[in-house]
Structure 1
Amino acid sequence: MKESKQTDSYAHILKYTGLFGSMQGLSILVGIIRTKLVALILGPDGVGLMSLFNSTIRLLGDTSQLGLPVSGVRKISYAYEHNDQESLAHHIKLLRSWGLVTGIVGMILCVALSPLLNSWTFNWGNHTLHFMLLAPIVALSTITGGELAILKGTRRLRPLALISLFQVALALIISVPLFLLWQQAAIIPSLLLVALSQMLLTIGYSYRYHPLRLSLQPDFLTQGNSTIRLGIAFMLAAMMGSGAEFIIRLFLNTRGNLDDVGLYNAGFMMTMTYAGMVFTALETDYFPRLSAIGNDTKQQNRLINRQIEVSLLLLAPMLIAFLAGMPIILPLLYSSKFLPALGMVQPAVLAMYLRALTLPLCYVPLARGDSSTYLIVEGLSAVAIIVAVGFGFTHWGLTGAGFGILMAGLADFFVLTSVAFRRYGYRMNRSNIGYTIFHFLLLLCTYAVATTTQDWTYWAAGFIFFLISAAFSWRILRQKTGDTSPTP
């Protein structure tokens, strides 16, 4: 029985990592088309301007949501796992009610802070009105986040995968024609219309399974205090993460120029977003299952190790191909104007590999309801990336910023593994240690080739490293899904 469960577990992780990875891949393909067109139409300065607006809205959205889209998943997932329909309906109603309240508050906050946001963000022009016009996006994204939390908690995995694809498609259909017509003047209208369409799409799926029920009575809202407390910790952590990216972009804009912001944003998107499609299953499928385990350390370690194992084996060959093909991929996705970001992207790809090790551990404090530990760890992470990227950019430009991302990733790895080991009893199994070392050495070899060789030697070596990594991963994954012997 135990052996069968192991095979089912590996099969489940692979199935839904594959489902969300493939959907994310399609989403990225559509997003690539949009990004390419936007980059060609707006150029680096237009991409930088849109990045500043997006960073600001994301920061305000993270603040106003009180972390409810994540903390709400924990309660809903537990009720769903134990088939408690009354509790499930109660927590869904509670989450939606709080989502409406926080969305309205966030919109008002954005309007009130618009003059300050303008002075903090820009050292040229007056963009106060632009920030005021962006305020509804905060409310729309808050409602969208709440409905996505409901779908995640109730394991509506296929609708979630479709939503992620359709959201990107809507962004393409809406924004590109507007940019063609009005160039940079279309940034604000496109952001508003995209946020509205994504909210309507999400509630269309969510309301089908769970009809809308709300209550704004104070007595009812206070029943969500425990969820709010955990959510506030997540909110503060998300604020620190969004704030860190906001500060980095402000620093690049003031220390460098808007082109540097656009190039940094392109490099960041290339690594953290495009190469990170394997991670989309973590929040959607892995976190609800981890929350349902509770405080069972043995089951926790088994689930974490399997998730890390699958993530590593799937991601490593992709990153090697990504790193080797970057001189072609970067101008293909953006334009030749963005080639100066190449030196930043190459070391940042190595940071993505470390993220496969650390991201599953990030969810453990949340699943345990340990808000203070989560907050401390995320705070250290935010400080690390600000300091490392700032130092790197000051001394070595965008290439230094890329190495800063890598150094911050190393710091995250050591902090998270230490915390998970001491506080939650996590132990990485021997096979994962071996896989980690093997693939990281291959990545380092690929990086060395990418930065020191040219012509056919470059492509031949990159192709060989990719084949070695892919063959190794394929063999191990075949064994894990077909072999029913227990994991040591």
Structure 2
Amino acid sequence: MSDNKNSYKKIFKTTSLFGTVHFINMVISVIRSKFLAVFIGAEGYGIYSLLNSTIELIRKAIGLNIETSGVKKIAQANTEGELQNISVQANILLWIAVITGGIGSFFAIVFSNQLSVWTFGDYGKAVAIGWIGITILIKQLTSAKTAIMQGMAKLNFLAKSSLYGNIIALLINLPLFYFFRLDAIVPAIIIASLLNYLCSLFFFRKMNIKVTLYKPKKIFTEGKEVMLFGTLLSLSAFLPVLVNYLIQVFIRYKGDLNSVGLFSVGMVVINAYVGIIFTAMSTEYYPRLASFNKDKNLESEALNQQAIVSLLIIGPVIVLFLFFKEYIIHFLFSEKFVPVLPMLKWAILAMLFKAVSWSMGYIIIARADSKVFTKTAIGYNTLHLLLCVGGYYLDGLRGLGVGFCLFYLVHLIGNYILVFFRYKIQLSVPLFKIFGITFILCSLSFLSSDIEHLVYKYLSFIVLFSLITYYSWVEINKRVDAVGFISKFTKRKGNNKND
């Protein structure tokens, strides 16, 4: 029981660290999104999103997903405590980043005309794509350094690197958008990637890893496992980006750039704000799973703990967002983005299913189960594309939101069948109980959030939010003794003041 509590404490500690960092990054994103909405509008946001999606598509196709594939090898070397091996693996990863990043940038520059036609329907954005193509190399180098930090459990460095890079980029880019509006999009993207790289470089140097020039033969020999695993992971990383890109292109084709901007804003809210919990937790969860070496008992325990923590934290967030989505869109962006609300309502509910399916999906990655990994990646992403595109075709953004929610429900059921039958991993009774209660309260919130009578609407919010917050608090306190921790923290602060 003590070990169980320690595991929960570790999860919550890491989540609180990266949750705090991502909360600050979220505030930065709020400020940036608000000013972008005012300075370049929905159409400008559509251009900004399509340019980023185009470049990210190339990076994911060529980059071997080193931000994930590199972590596994570094984490294993770090667990074994072999300093020489850590240095070798770190250098191999850095040189793989240089090679893949260079190829990606070259591809973006050479084929910028074709990419502009595919994405925007003409050659108008070819020069912009060529310039932004430079960021593929920069981002690959940044990803390699952050993977090394994560693999070596230097989570403080990782958190500070992300935080400082985003703050400095915001301070520099906001004046650019103010003065140059749409013309600032390309310089802003390049500046943000460069500043994030410089911050990662600063903290990487604190780890005292000497960068060594290796011959190509050694890079490919020593890095074979990373490249093979990275090729496997690239499929899972590339396909979601491809799907997102194709959805945006389809929306532009059936609608316009304004509609693309609305869709992109919806995804920003889901991924950056509601989905903050997933980014925070994956930082600690994946390296821990990778270190278990396919021990199903340890994996089962970690999976149940992670899914429970995800549900307990995200439940109240979902209820809050459902009832106040209109005000959130007005505050984060502007009234011009209100048409995204029908999509957003369904997409927010989908995060409940993702909280559990996401936890199960990492088991496949940690086991490097190539056959299952390839089949599920292709199958899930094909389904995602069909449901979202079909939904948009039938009912615009609302239909797209319904398709998005249906996808994560199927994703949850599919992953459960997979981990249960293939890996013999059991989901615990407490997890089923917590999911059931959270699902009921979130579903009631979904149905009540659009009540026209304001008194009834906000009475419903008070009741449902109080219930889900109280329930989450009680369940969290069972696992980490949150009351005791707060009491000790308060006493410590009081003693420090007296001293």
TM range, normalised to the smaller chain? over 0.9
Identify the range of structure 1 (369-378 vs 321-330) with the bigger mean alpha-carbon deviation. 369-378
Do the aligned residues in 2 keep the contact of 1:275 with 1:318 (CA within 8 Å)? Answer: yes
Identify the range of structure 1 (290-299 vs 157-166) with the bigger mean alpha-carbon deviation. 157-166
Do the aligned residues in 1 keep the contact of 2:59 with 2:104 (CA within 8 Å)? Answer: yes
How many angstroms does 1:89 deviate by?
A: 1.3
Name the counterpart of 2:230: 231
Give 2:173's match in structure 1, choosing from 175, 191, 195.
175
| Mapping of residues 54-203 of structure 1, within 5 Å | 54-124=52-122, 126-203=124-201
Name the counterpart of 1:480: 479
Do the aligned residues in 2 keep the contact of 1:67 with 1:228 (CA within 8 Å)? Answer: no
How many angstroms does 1:124 deviate by?
A: 4.6
Aligned CA distance change for structure 1 residues 378 and 170 (closer, same or farther; 3 Å): farther
Name the counterpart of 1:438: 437
Name the counterpart of 2:39: 41
Name the counterpart of 1:486: none
- Give me the whole-angstrom Cα distance separating, in 1, the residues matched to 2:245 and 2:24: 28
Name the counterpart of 2:349: 350
Name the counterpart of 1:317: 316
Name the counterpart of 2:299: 300
- Give me the whole-angstrom Cα distance separating, in 1, the residues matched to 2:78 and 2:209: 16
Give 1:205's match in structure 2, choosing from 190, 198, 203.
203
Q: CA RMSD in A?
A: 1.3
| Percentage of identical aligned residues | 26
Do the aligned residues in 2 keep the contact of 1:71 with 1:227 (CA within 8 Å)? Answer: yes
How many angstroms does 1:170 deviate by?
A: 2.5
- Give me the whole-angstrom Cα distance separating, in 2, the residues matched to 1:340 and 1:213: 51
TM-score where L is the length of structure 2: 0.94
- Give me the whole-angstrom Cα distance separating, in 1, the residues matched to 2:400 and 2:117: 25
- Give me the whole-angstrom Cα distance separating, in 2, the residues matched to 1:66 and 1:216: 19
How many angstroms does 1:426 deviate by?
A: 1.6
- Give me the whole-angstrom Cα distance separating, in 1, the residues matched to 2:373 and 2:357: 13
Do the aligned residues in 1 keep the contact of 2:74 with 2:90 (CA within 8 Å)? Answer: yes
How many angstroms does 1:469 deviate by?
A: 0.4
Do the aligned residues in 2 keep the contact of 1:233 with 1:372 (CA within 8 Å)? Answer: no
Amino acid at match of 1:263: L
Amino acid at match of 2:366: A
- C-alpha distance after superposition, 1:7-40 (max 9, x if no partner): 1111111111111112111110111011101111
- Give me the whole-angstrom Cα distance separating, in 2, the residues matched to 1:340 and 1:125: 30
SS in 1 for 2:359: helix
- Give me the whole-angstrom Cα distance separating, in 1, the residues matched to 2:383 and 2:145: 32
How many angstroms does 1:215 deviate by?
A: 3.0
TM-score where L is the length of structure 1: 0.96
Do the aligned residues in 2 keep the contact of 1:384 with 1:411 (CA within 8 Å)? Answer: no
- Give me the whole-angstrom Cα distance separating, in 2, the residues matched to 1:342 and 1:29: 21
How many angstroms does 1:375 deviate by?
A: 2.4
SS in 2 for 1:192: helix
| Count of matched residue positions in the alignment of Structure 1 and Structure 2 | 481
- Give me the whole-angstrom Cα distance separating, in 2, the residues matched to 1:398 and 1:366: 32
| Mapping of residues 7-18 of structure 1, within 5 Å | 7-18=5-16
Determine if the alignment matches structure 1 residue 380 to structure 2 residue 379.
yes
How many angstroms does 1:276 deviate by?
A: 1.0
Q: Unpaired runs of 5+ in structure 1?
A: 484-488
Give 1:219's match in structure 2, choosing from 217, 220, 238.
217
- Give me the whole-angstrom Cα distance separating, in 2, the residues matched to 1:86 and 1:462: 57
- C-alpha distance after superposition, 1:167-191 (max 9, x if no partner): 3212311221111111101100110
- Give me the whole-angstrom Cα distance separating, in 2, the residues matched to 1:214 and 1:97: 9
SS in 1 for 2:14: helix
- C-alpha distance after superposition, 1:386-410 (max 9, x if no partner): 1111111111111111111101111
Amino acid at match of 1:211: I
Do the aligned residues in 2 keep the contact of 1:28 with 1:274 (CA within 8 Å)? Answer: yes
How many angstroms does 1:120 deviate by?
A: 0.4
- Give me the whole-angstrom Cα distance separating, in 1, the residues matched to 2:14 and 2:281: 9
Amino acid at match of 1:268: M
| Mapping of residues 335-484 of structure 1, within 5 Å | 335-482=334-481
- Give me the whole-angstrom Cα distance separating, in 2, the residues matched to 1:97 and 1:245: 29
Do the aligned residues in 2 keep the contact of 1:31 with 1:169 (CA within 8 Å)? Answer: no
How many angstroms does 1:356 deviate by?
A: 0.6
Aligned CA distance change for structure 1 residues 273 and 379 (closer, same or farther; 3 Å): farther
Identify the range of structure 1 (67-76 vs 308-317) with the bigger mean alpha-carbon deviation. 67-76
Name the counterpart of 2:485: none
Do the aligned residues in 1 keep the contact of 2:349 with 2:442 (CA within 8 Å)? Answer: yes
Determine if the alignment matches structure 1 residue 22 to structure 2 residue 27.
no
Identify the range of structure 1 (377-386 vs 305-314) with the bigger mean alpha-carbon deviation. 377-386
How many angstroms does 1:107 deviate by?
A: 0.8
Do the aligned residues in 1 keep the contact of 2:55 with 2:136 (CA within 8 Å)? Answer: yes
| Mapping of residues 321-332 of structure 1, within 5 Å | 321-332=320-331
- Give me the whole-angstrom Cα distance separating, in 1, the residues matched to 2:280 and 2:288: 11
How many angstroms does 1:137 deviate by?
A: 0.5
- Give me the whole-angstrom Cα distance separating, in 2, the residues matched to 1:215 and 1:101: 13
Do the aligned residues in 2 keep the contact of 1:48 with 1:262 (CA within 8 Å)? Answer: yes
Do the aligned residues in 2 keep the contact of 1:96 with 1:146 (CA within 8 Å)? Answer: yes
Amino acid at match of 2:335: S
How many angstroms does 1:420 deviate by?
A: 1.2
SS in 1 for 2:81: coil
Identify the range of structure 1 (165-174 vs 444-453) with the bigger mean alpha-carbon deviation. 165-174
Name the counterpart of 1:290: 289
SS in 2 for 1:209: coil
Q: Unpaired runs of 5+ in structure 2?
A: 483-499
How many angstroms does 1:380 deviate by?
A: 1.8
How many angstroms does 1:44 deviate by?
A: 0.2
Do the aligned residues in 1 keep the contact of 2:100 with 2:140 (CA within 8 Å)? Answer: yes
Do the aligned residues in 1 keep the contact of 2:151 with 2:287 (CA within 8 Å)? Answer: yes
- Give me the whole-angstrom Cα distance separating, in 2, the residues matched to 1:10 and 1:237: 28
How many angstroms does 1:113 deviate by?
A: 1.8
- Give me the whole-angstrom Cα distance separating, in 2, the residues matched to 1:376 and 1:143: 30
Do the aligned residues in 2 keep the contact of 1:163 with 1:201 (CA within 8 Å)? Answer: yes
- C-alpha distance after superposition, 1:68-115 (max 9, x if no partner): 221110011011112122221111111111111111111111112211
How many angstroms does 1:64 deviate by?
A: 2.3
Identify the range of structure 1 (151-160 vs 274-283) with the bigger mean alpha-carbon deviation. 274-283
